[in-house]
Structure 1
């Protein structure tokens, strides 16, 4: 997953990678934690570039589903966090160009991400709330293109089966101190199944300004409009065998789907303060605002039409002190989310009378301290963070009483990671980390006791991660890493349904789980322009203490997660001429329910990409 760029060597050398998702920039091989990195290359232009799944498939510990349902969005799980999301991304912190994409309540979407300008992706695996607060069962930090040596203009047109179309235009302008990137894309498809059409347009502008040798200012403006994303729904096994292309009857009846429009503007600042030669100080700061409007139709009548208007803003700053082998970073993140949520009757695709109208707010203030000490062969990173979270609902419906209310869900999360270099090519490490995940506003508003207000019974999910790992660079062209972990969680947030409200999801806490896993990844640049990558993930995730009126599920496997997953990739990518990439992904059996009575068979996915670059 690491990209080499020296075509003159018979055995290509792998580049040294510096990771910033850990808050303090560190060499990948020295980080006492499990981190995977993807570096973009010219051959990525041959991807469909409609889902982030295309970039994450080969990462151990990361599992993605639902890539082709544009109404439900891509589901990403890291070590099981996020696997039970009803829609969007839960339990995983998303960061794009240093600015949080995940809302304070822990909900994330990537429908506004322009995949055509991704430069690199860093994935920090395991609980990371000491770094990023709420919903940090893992971290995905995406950085878009900002460094290039000369002006360029790039266009892409792609067509495929089932009406697939994708058009992109990218322009980059640079001089000694300034770079601009302008990107736009338009995509649409009918897709394989009935009632699964989508249409979307994205535009993105970013600028990087070196105001001095010590001061860099960055800005971005992003707009996304998806007027059409239909939802075909799930099928029973009998329906699947009869006609896999059909949509579920209720989804056709209620004309399920969504329309989304989002605007984002943000700035970031990096300032290296004047200092003595042996004592350095650096300030990082960001500021952003997001407006998101959502309209959706769900496959039930009462409350099955949803209108959501979201305003989300945040600001954060940190100062880093570096002296000798020690780096200390102190900072804060502040965020405010306001959702105007309305529900109406869905009368078979026609919006009817209102059933809910409430204003939901989530206010977060997190303060953190991170320290990295690297004496001799040791790397010791410690972190601690306190988060103040206030959740508030204002009932604006008031036909059956006032369901307004508020609650505070604070959290304190420490972590420590210790690494030891056995030699110049081998490091072992151990990590102890924690995370917490509050219920999202949409989960709280799904109140089984009544349709107004919050579900006051929901509590935050908490996790403790214990991990051992080994990182090896056996040569300049061959490296691998392996991680063994156990995660103990309490109060897992899981969805359920009620007979009186078919197809509507509610949420409850699920006692305790134990997650034992192994992650193995390797890359071998065995000849000029050739690269072999492989990964394997073992996930023994099970309930330890979970009982509902439907039964006792102690010892059962967590649904929606395969126990075994393997990926093998072979890439040939010279700087000029024909290029090719072959990837084989093998996913094992997984269960579809808590009782483990229904299972989904494993599958293999083979992808072949061919390209020939022109200039």
Structure 2
């Protein structure tokens, strides 16, 4: 079931880490299988079937008055299993006027209808009554007081609130030993209210409803084939009002936006001894329309049709069961989102100058596993060329508002490494390295030539290394090092963001008492109190690029399971 909306936006604030069983990151472009906005894929697998009844209760608190309360139940009977999670997280925030509150509910049902059919039902809900935005700062303001909020954000009461729920069902059926069928259906509603530090149109109300369904049939033989289709429909009712220093004023925009997508695809794999050939092909049609309700400034109603065909081809070579070499080429596309289309410098209506970005990606790699699986190594070289990449910017005529334009051609190439090694029964090591070059290949705007410059907001290298220790006494310690390379804040590369190193520490212990498990823990983030930024506002007007991150923070608590 997709978490990404039909127009390509992804919000996962409705998913709680406690119910996530596995996260898999799939490299490369996935448009031949998943369609729009599939430059990278994250597959999230939530809790599956439950073997035994359980209850888990946890409470934690820490720096900046952050605290989290959570309860999770799991129930099991002959054919079905249920899980129920309720949690609340709130914090005052590191910076002035940066607090938030989040309430979350997740309900899951898995039912084995018979030996060949399985039904899964999910409901999740999130209510965030407030998340206050302290705004971006100039470097002078950061150096003076990195915890301060921008004065204009305080004057205009910049913040947002969200009310979001999603219902989904998935039915899997094994027809015979070679044929299987998978179907999904979902409906979601998201109400958003926000205020930005702008008077005209600075108060926003968005009512988003989106639904979708899809089906695929898989044939498993020497040639494996999957054929399927997806349909997604999104409707946004967007309104904007005057923001009279935090008070909602007169209506200035009212438009209904719609994004309808349907796609059909075919993927296959063919084995020839120790060689596997993989291929995929997908066709998508996206119909985007806008109906202008507020006609005081004219009728800006419009519609656009965007079609795309995306193939992929790959080959795997396994000289033995422990080593694999692979290569693939794939194409992808990403339409502007409704928000990007609707952010028009001329006022209401579509920003029709925006084009869909299209990419071609090449990958060559190697992976190795040891016999007992204590060693895992993956090395990948990637090279990707994108045409008409969508980038944010701020217009001096409309300060504090974000608009979007296309950036000619961009090029990304580099090497990624990931590894895991169990030193012994107690120590294990994980590491990942990304070294790359991310450049504007051809890009001119307002008589400025940015060709050859680095794409802003992307660090040139990332290094993550962590060591875990766990004894049979259930004591565990994890220490991690994260090195983030330098990057730029704007297209001209005149503002450089320095590299930084972060060290985090987590320690805890599992204590068994009859049928009760206690797990006290303590986490220390940014152990050496490094100055860095948790967000850079790309191409921000007035030099307000910087959103400072917390220095050393502590977070501890206890989990009880029975």
How does the TM-score come out when normalised to structure 1?
0.82
Shift of 1:154: 0.2
* Residue 418 (structure 1) aligns with: 315
Shift of 1:575: 6.1
Q: Which moved more, 1:567-576 or 1:157-166?
A: 567-576
CA distance in 2, matches of 1:501, 1:440: 21
User: Which string of whole-angstrom CA distances, capped at 9 and with x for unpartnered residues, describes residues 424-470 of structure 1?
Assistant: 3211110101110001001111112x211111111100000011000
Whose radius of gyration is greater, 1 or 2? 2
* Residue 362 (structure 2) aligns with: 466
Q: Is the 8 A contact 1:146 1:180 kept in 2?
A: no
Q: Is the 8 A contact 2:50 2:82 kept in 1?
A: no
- Whether 2:10 is the aligned partner of 1:111: answer no
- Whether 2:390 is the aligned partner of 1:497: answer no
Q: Is the 8 A contact 2:426 2:469 kept in 1?
A: yes
5 Å matches for 1:498-537? 498-537=395-434
CA distance in 2, matches of 1:533, 1:542: 29
- Whether 2:353 is the aligned partner of 1:457: answer yes
Specify which of 144, 148, 166 is matched with residue 242 of structure 1.
Answer: 144
SS of residue paired to 2:12: coil
* Residue 467 (structure 2) aligns with: 570
CA distance in 1, matches of 2:91, 2:438: 36
User: Which string of whole-angstrom CA distances, capped at 9 and with x for unpartnered residues, describes residues 314-365 of structure 1?
Assistant: 0000000112x22100000101000000001111111111111000000000
- Whether 2:33 is the aligned partner of 1:131: answer yes
Shift of 1:550: 5.7
* Residue 355 (structure 1) aligns with: 252
- Whether 2:213 is the aligned partner of 1:302: answer no
SS of residue paired to 1:116: helix
* Residue 606 (structure 1) aligns with: 503
> How many residues get paired?
511
Q: Is the 8 A contact 1:446 1:454 kept in 2?
A: yes
Specify which of 55, 59, 65 is matched with residue 157 of structure 1.
Answer: 59
SS of residue paired to 2:199: coil
Shift of 1:546: 0.5
CA distance in 2, matches of 1:457, 1:250: 31
- Whether 2:106 is the aligned partner of 1:204: answer yes
Shift of 1:574: 4.6
User: Which string of whole-angstrom CA distances, capped at 9 and with x for unpartnered residues, describes residues 226-260 of structure 1?
Assistant: 00101111111111111010011221121111000
CA distance in 2, matches of 1:471, 1:465: 19
Q: Is the 8 A contact 1:344 1:353 kept in 2?
A: yes
SS of residue paired to 2:64: coil
* Residue 546 (structure 2) aligns with: none
User: Which string of whole-angstrom CA distances, capped at 9 and with x for unpartnered residues, describes residues 164-199 of structure 1?
Assistant: 000110011113421101011101000110111000
CA distance in 2, matches of 1:178, 1:523: 36
Over 3 Å counting, the alpha-carbon distance change for 1:541 and 1:602 in structure 2 is same
Structure 2 runs not aligned, ≥5 long: 512-516, 518-562
Shift of 1:507: 1.1
- Whether 2:91 is the aligned partner of 1:189: answer yes
SS of residue paired to 1:408: strand
Specify which of 370, 373, 392 is matched with residue 289 of structure 2.
Answer: 392
CA distance in 2, matches of 1:573, 1:145: 24
CA distance in 1, matches of 2:371, 2:486: 36
Shift of 1:147: 2.9
CA distance in 1, matches of 2:120, 2:508: 33
Specify which of 151, 154, 171 is matched with residue 269 of structure 1.
Answer: 171
Q: Is the 8 A contact 1:331 1:368 kept in 2?
A: yes
SS of residue paired to 1:207: strand
CA distance in 2, matches of 1:144, 1:223: 15
SS of residue paired to 2:114: coil
CA distance in 2, matches of 1:129, 1:517: 21
CA distance in 1, matches of 2:241, 2:432: 46
Structure 1 runs not aligned, ≥5 long: 1-98
CA distance in 1, matches of 2:307, 2:359: 15
* Residue 377 (structure 1) aligns with: 274
* Residue 480 (structure 1) aligns with: 377
Shift of 1:508: 1.1
CA distance in 2, matches of 1:294, 1:575: 48
Q: Is the 8 A contact 2:275 2:318 kept in 1?
A: yes
Q: Is the 8 A contact 1:207 1:220 kept in 2?
A: yes
Shift of 1:301: 1.1
CA distance in 2, matches of 1:609, 1:149: 29
Alpha-carbon RMSD: 1.1
Shift of 1:474: 4.0
* Residue 291 (structure 1) aligns with: 189
* Residue 220 (structure 2) aligns with: 322
Higher strand share goes to which structure?
2
Q: Is the 8 A contact 1:146 1:181 kept in 2?
A: no
Over 3 Å counting, the alpha-carbon distance change for 1:174 and 1:573 in structure 2 is farther
* Residue 339 (structure 1) aligns with: 236
- Whether 2:68 is the aligned partner of 1:166: answer yes
CA distance in 1, matches of 2:155, 2:497: 26
- Whether 2:456 is the aligned partner of 1:559: answer yes
Over 3 Å counting, the alpha-carbon distance change for 1:464 and 1:594 in structure 2 is same
CA distance in 2, matches of 1:500, 1:238: 23
SS of residue paired to 1:309: strand
* Residue 233 (structure 1) aligns with: 135
Shift of 1:512: 0.1
Over 3 Å counting, the alpha-carbon distance change for 1:550 and 1:233 in structure 2 is farther
Q: Which moved more, 1:242-251 or 1:484-493?
A: 242-251
Specify which of 566, 581, 590 is matched with residue 478 of structure 2.
Answer: 581
Tell me which stretches of 4 or more aligned residues in structure 1 moved more than 4 Å: none
Q: Is the 8 A contact 1:522 1:534 kept in 2?
A: yes
User: Which string of whole-angstrom CA distances, capped at 9 and with x for unpartnered residues, describes residues 4-28 of structure 1?
Assistant: xxxxxxxxxxxxxxxxxxxxxxxxx
